[in-house]
Amino acid sequence: MLSVSDSLRLDCMKNITIVGTVLFLVITSSISGQDPVKQPQVTILTTGGTIASRSEAPSLEGHALIQAVPQLLNYATVNVEEIARTGSSRITPEIWLLIGKRINEIFASDPNLSGIVVTHGTDTMEETAYYLNLVVKDDRPVVLVGSMRSADIISADGPSNLLQAVRVATTQHSKNRGVMIVLNDEINSARDAWKTDNQRVQTFSAMDRGILGYADPDTVIFYRNPSQLHTVHSIFELDGIESLPEVPIAIDYPGFDGSTIFQWIKRNPAGIVVQTFAGGRMSSGAADGIRAAVAGNIPVVIASRVPGGRIPGTPSIEGTVLARDLPAHKARVLLMVALTDPSNKETLTTIFNKY
């Protein structure tokens, strides 16, 4: 959770960012010969991650990251704000709230803005992207982008990824496709993207559903639309929410005695996600723990640890909810967002089927 000093630091950075952005735009637009008034307008929110990291030096500040890619000015007038500067393994739900609220504020205040790009580390990018997919209230594109290689090594992929993300954000037919992730020239839906490799630049995959499209050299091309509800079609209103409900993930394994589920029950969380085996099958210990949680009126969502395929049929334990094809870490995000309104406890099955 952000401390008061951290919050003040972020507020100060935002104020400094405004001045820096104006100077950046004046200098770079004069160099490139572009008229910024006639360019599509994009706001880039930076949060850190590998795309800003350096091997033996502090991470790049937001403006330095953008200035390293002057080709951006060939496609858009760019405004930059630094929301955070941290590795994505240290991203918190409090930072999700900051990013989501800021995106909604920016869109509400600027009807001429083409889209928003968020730079982010790849470790938890899919959770942040899916959270935004549920709470952003605009049909204009929001694109998350990062890199698999640090900014100061040979063949760093961050500059190219950032350029393609801005291109996607300025493309008219990117509207109403939900929040997207752009890496390695591929466009993935925030809901469907999985990080599948610890090293390779082609890390994100959409498993059974496939990518949305490509940022090719000559054009941005889409092949499909997301099938689940998102952004302006979402029922979730979180701009006034100060914190998200506590929802842990318990992991099943051979010989599991259910102890971690029972420990969580004692803390009375808002809900629990249990990552089970393929198809939602589970050990007897997990089943015992889940039944105890349901008896204690704690919502339980059953997810599968297998990347491909959905959980079919009906729950094997009455009173639980199936995550279908959502992995446990995204099922947790949806359950947290849904439970900000306690009345949604009665319709969780419908929510998980729609989102």
Q: In 10 A of CB 174, how many CB atoms?
A: 24
User: Could you give the residue range(s) of every CATH 3.40.50.40 domain in the chain?
Assistant: 249-354
If pLDDT is split at 50, 70 and 90, which confidence band does 9 have? very low
The CATH class of 249-354 is: alpha beta
Measured CA to CA, the distance from residue 60 to residue 285 in angstroms comes to: 47
If pLDDT is split at 50, 70 and 90, which confidence band does 152 have? confident
The yes-or-no verdict on residue 156 having pLDDT over 90 is: no
Residue-level pLDDT at 49: 72
User: Could you give the residue range(s) of every CATH 3.40.50.1170 domain in the chain?
Assistant: 4-233
Residue-level pLDDT at 60: 65
User: Which of 296 and 69 is assigned the larger pLDDT?
Assistant: 296
DSSP for residue 244: P
Chain centroid offset of residue 292 CA: 32
The yes-or-no verdict on residue 342 having pLDDT over 60 is: yes
Residue-level pLDDT at 229: 98
Q: From 3.40.630.10, 3.40.50.620, 3.40.50.1170, 3.90.700.10, which CATH number describes the 4-233 domain?
A: 3.40.50.1170
Measured CA to CA, the distance from residue 281 to residue 176 in angstroms comes to: 36
Q: Are 337 and 238 in contact (CB under 8 A)?
A: yes
Q: Are 261 and 286 in contact (CB under 8 A)?
A: yes
The yes-or-no verdict on residue 233 having pLDDT over 50 is: yes
The yes-or-no verdict on residue 305 having pLDDT over 80 is: yes
Per the prediction, the chain carries an average pLDDT of 88
Strand partners, 80: 44
Pick the catalytic residue: 50, 231, 260, 276?
50
Please indicate whether residue 124 is annotated as part of the active site: no
If pLDDT is split at 50, 70 and 90, which confidence band does 19 have? very low
Q: Are 50 and 150 in contact (CB under 8 A)?
A: yes
